[in-house]
Amino acid sequence: MPEGLEAELYRRAAEVCVGRVVATVDVDPRQQLAIPIGRELVGSEVTGMRRIGKLVLVDLSMPDGDSVVLGLHFGMTGRLVVDGIAPIERLEYSSGRDDPAWDRLLVGFDGVGSMRVNDPRRWARFTLDPDETRFGPDLLDHDVATFTDALAESLAGRRAALKSILLDQSIVAGLGNMTVDEILWQVGFSPLAPAGQLEREPITRLVDAIDEHLPAMLVRGGSHTGVLEPAIRSGLPPCPRDGVALRRDVVGGRSTVWCPGHQTANGRSS
């Protein structure tokens, strides 16, 4: 499903739209929180394509010179299709079909080209000038030292499960259920460990794991291209690292797969 990695793949695909002028905007009328995006965007020029966490931000310059930002959040099953090409063909947990009836936002450009969000379950959300300050450091785009400091500050004193904290977009923007499970498996921390228990050195190892594995998964095509997710395609096999039976628990209200053998409270085997 679209986590930060997928949003980055969408953003890159949508960059070809920079410089184009919006000719038509159609929004699913049943879009919840439907905002009056539409006519007033017609005539605006796309000046940038940014991303914060799971949110893709389309910078628009209006004919009168005003700027507006269109925020695209893809929910669990939203796919971006640019000029008829989907950067991610088959989304985990979603249908592989591209039914025009599922188009929730369709932007046509002057001359040629289009950008649309196709979402069977209607969980995608579109906003104008979304609050960009509510996010923590981005999962991919951050300075290592600053990120480590911010994470240490965010985790300090927290008693909630490490996984719950890492899923909080105001702490790290863009991590989702799959990427958190993968990172914790890679670095060897229990998802259930109280977050505040991590000391400085384990936090630096967590940051190292994020910086090593997420860019690699991005290159491979997204949040399902780690070790853990492919391994659990059919049931719960032994842990690919140490052969201990993987567990499935609910942590932070989310289905969580982890290895009680090598994932411990401080990342050190006992």
Q: Which residues bind DNA (CB under 7 A)?
A: 1, 3, 30, 32, 53-54, 73, 75-76, 93, 95, 97, 120-123, 157-161, 164-165, 167, 169, 176-178, 196, 250, 252-255
Nearer to DNA, 144 or 245 (CB): 245
Q: Closest CB to DNA among 22 and 192?
A: 192
- Counting Cα atoms < 13 Å in the Cβ hemisphere of 229 gives 17
Q: Based on CB atoms, which residue is closest to DNA, 75 or 261?
A: 75
The answer to whether 210 and 90 have CB atoms below 8 angstroms apart is no
Judged by beta carbon, residue 90 or residue 220, the one nearer DNA is 90
Nearer to DNA, 109 or 189 (CB): 189
Q: Please list the residues that pair with 49 across neighbouring strands.
A: 58
Q: C-beta of 25: minimal distance to DNA in Å?
A: 20
Q: How many CB atoms lie within 10 A of CB 217?
A: 21
Q: Write the burial class of residue 201 (CB in 10 Å: 0-12 exposed, 13-18 middle, 19+ buried).
A: exposed
Shortest CB 223 distance to DNA, Å = 8
CB of 230 to DNA, least distance (A): 14
Residue 120 is encoded by which pair of tokens?
Answer: 């069977």
Task: Give the C-alpha separation, 140 to 218, whole Å.
Answer: 9
Q: Which is nearer to DNA, 167 or 187 (CB)?
A: 167
CB neighbours of 177 closer than 8 A, spacing ≥ 6?
A: 1, 3, 167, 254, 255, 256
Number of Cβ atoms within 10 Å of the Cβ of 171: 20
Smallest gap from residue 154 Cβ to DNA (A): 10
Nearer to DNA (CB atom), residue 23 or residue 106: 106
**Angle between helix 4-14 and 200-220 (nearest 10):** 40
Min. distance of Cβ 23 from DNA in angstroms?
27
Rounded least distance, CB 85 to DNA, Å? 21
CB of 159 to DNA, least distance (A): 4
Of 7, 137, 16, the C-alpha closest to 71 is 7
Complete DSSP assignment for 68-107? EEEEEE-TTT-EEEETTB-SSSS-TTS-S---GGGEEEEE
Residue 246 DSSP code: P
